[in-house]
Structure formats: C-alpha cells, structure tokens
Amino acid sequence: MLRQIFFIFLAIFLSTSLFGQQRLPGNQNIYGATGKGIIYDNEMTFNLAIATPRNFFFGVRSGKLIAFDKMKYWSASFGDIRHSRERRENPDRINILTNRVSRAYVYGKENQLYALRVGFGTRKYLSEKARQRGVAVGYSYEFGPTLGLLKPYYLEVDAGEPGSPGTIIDIRHTGSNTAAFLNQDRIFGASAWTLGIDEIQLRPGIHAKAAAHFGFGAFEEVAKSMEAGIMADFLLGNTDIMIESDLTPGVSNSPLFLSLYINLQIGKRW
C-alpha cells in the first residue's frame, strides 16, 4: 500500500513540476538586477520517501529562507525501519476450520520497528537554475532526536496435533520458544498487525541525514524538489528486529541503522 502511495505521489510531483516550469508567477519579482533570485521568506513542503531496505517514511518540512539560495528548517517524519535480511514468505495455506487463507510473513522476524524523527537542518543551493527552466542543484543536512517504537511481531501457528491441523494460535518470540517460533511446518502466517500494539516499547535515539538536493522551479512559489542521500539512526536499548539463531544464519542486529533514500517534496513558499 505504501509503495502505491509513493508512486502516486511521484506522478503528482512530476506533473506539477512540468506545469510549474512553463511560467513564472506574474506578481513576483523573481530576479533582481543582479540576476540573483530572491524573494520568499518561508517554505513548507510535504515529503514522501523510499529508503533501503524497503523502508518508507513521510513527513513535513518547514523553513525560513535566509537567502535566495539558503534555508534553515525543521522537519518531522514517521516511517518504518526494517532489517536487510527480511524476506517475505507466503505459504498460501488454508485453515480448514475457518476456510481462511494465511497472510504473508517474514521468517525470523521478532519485532517491528518504527521511527518518529524531528530534525533541524540547512539546505544550500550551489548553482542558480535557468530563469524559467532547469534544476537548481544543492545539498541538505540535518540532525535531531529519534523516538523508536518497538512492537512485537506475532505469528499464527498451528497448535493442533499431528493429523488434526486447524487449531491456530498467535505467538510472539520470547527467547525460550525459538524452535517453535521458527518451525516453518507449523507457521500458518503473520498475525493481524494490531496484535501487540499494547506492548510497544519506546527507544530514544538520534539521527542524521545528508543529501544531494534538486530543486525544480527553485525560486517559484510552488516548491518542488527531490533529494537523494544517506540517513543514519542510532537507538538506545534493545532494538533487535530479527532473531539471531542457528536457524537464521548470517543474521545480526545493531543499534545503528544506515539507509539510502530518495525523498520527494512538494509544497509552497510565501
């Protein structure tokens, strides 16, 4: 679902960019006698990003333009953090008692991790775009606190006796039931996402981002841009996403999460 929303946002972003570059606002003096553009005091954009490995986050950015090519801003975003070893499996099993089809699940996953980030940063353009068309190239960076939300991952497993399947129960990994939790012959599928919400634990931390910034119509009233960069989150406390076991070879957990991302931004200047 999030992937579909991202591509819809991308289509809107590109169509707006094409129309936005065809003309400049008639009531704005975009360029002065020096050819430098100047102009607006504030900018606010809504953002949607896709990051490795298969992470999504969305948010808002609001800033103060201190020069035509520089902005100080704050941002807030929310998204998921996944482990690079996550692989979805779909057993396509049917519960003979309820005639319900199983959900896809991630083998070896024990927790779901989400991140609420608040950042403070700077965006700087390195070059001025063409007066009516083109792209202004620059960079951005930000730092700030992160609040991690760690939610247990539940699986539906078949608890029936051999020869009489169909009794499905929900279980989470407790450390003492690793063999049962990783028994693929018993796994029916993922439990409902809402299961475990009342068990969410908070994990404080920090994050940092650095990105190349591409502004489409960088000095126009409608703000349209794209960023491509790297992001790091460091969280305190246990943030294990996957189970480290002989049954999950090569899996290791770390409190440091690194990802590459592409972020689409659209909004308004005034």
CB under 8 Å, gap of 24 or more: what pairs does 85-88 form? 85/242, 85/248, 85/250, 85/251, 86/53, 86/54, 86/241, 86/242
Q: What is the pLDDT of residue 1?
A: 53
Q: What's the 3-state SS for 65-115? A: EEECCEEEEEEEEEEEECCCCCCEECCCCECCCCCCECCCEECCECEEEEE
Q: What is the pLDDT of residue 130?
A: 45
pLDDT tens per residue, range 63-77 = 999 987 899 999 999
Average of per-residue pLDDT across 38-62: 93
- Cβ–Cβ contacts within 10 Å for residue 246, how many? 7
Strand 55-67 relative to strand 70-81, pairing? antiparallel
Q: What is the pLDDT of residue 241?
A: 98
Q: What is d(CA 54, CA 88) in angstroms, rounded to the nearest whole number? A: 12
List C-alpha distances in Å: 117 to 45, 130, 144, 234.
Answer: 16, 34, 7, 11
Q: What is the pLDDT of residue 30?
A: 44
CB under 8 Å, gap of 24 or more: what pairs does 88-91 form? 90/189, 91/187, 91/188, 91/189
The residue with greater pLDDT, 10 or 42, is 42
List C-alpha distances in Å: 134 to 43, 127, 128, 226, 270.
Answer: 20, 11, 9, 13, 21
Q: What is the pLDDT of residue 163?
A: 56
Q: Does the pLDDT value for residue 32 go beyond 50? A: no
pLDDT tens per residue, range 183-226 = 998 999 999 999 999 999 999 999 999 999 999 877 788 999 99
Q: What is d(CA 204, CA 238) in angstroms, rounded to the nearest whole number? A: 11
Contacts of 105 (CB under 8 A, 6+ apart): 88, 89, 90, 91, 155, 187, 189, 190
The pLDDT mean for the chain works out to 85
Reported as a pLDDT band with limits 50, 70 and 90, residue 27 is very low
Q: Does the pLDDT value for residue 29 go beyond 80? A: no
pTM value? Answer: 0.83
Range with the poorest average pLDDT among 1-10, 35-44, 236-245: 1-10
Read off φ and ψ for residue 224, nearest 5 degrees.
Answer: -135, 125
pLDDT tens per residue, range 220-257 = 889 999 999 999 999 999 999 999 999 999 999 999 99
The residue with greater pLDDT, 22 or 195, is 195
The residue with greater pLDDT, 218 or 139, is 139
Residue pair 143/119 in contact by the 8 Å Cβ criterion: yes
Domains of the chain with bracketed CATH: 2-269 (2.40.160.20)
Q: Is 180 exposed, middle or buried (0-12, 13-18, 19+ CB in 10 A)?
A: middle
State whether residue 129 is helix, strand or coil: coil
pLDDT tens per residue, range 92-132 = 888 877 788 889 999 999 999 999 999 999 999 987 654 44
Reported as a pLDDT band with limits 50, 70 and 90, residue 165 is low
Q: What is d(CA 174, CA 180) in angstroms, rounded to the nearest whole number? A: 10
Q: Does the pLDDT value for residue 268 go beyond 80? A: yes
Question: Cα dihedral sign for 174, 176, 182, 183?
Answer: negative
State whether residue 56 is helix, strand or coil: strand
Tokens 């969305």: give the residue: 58
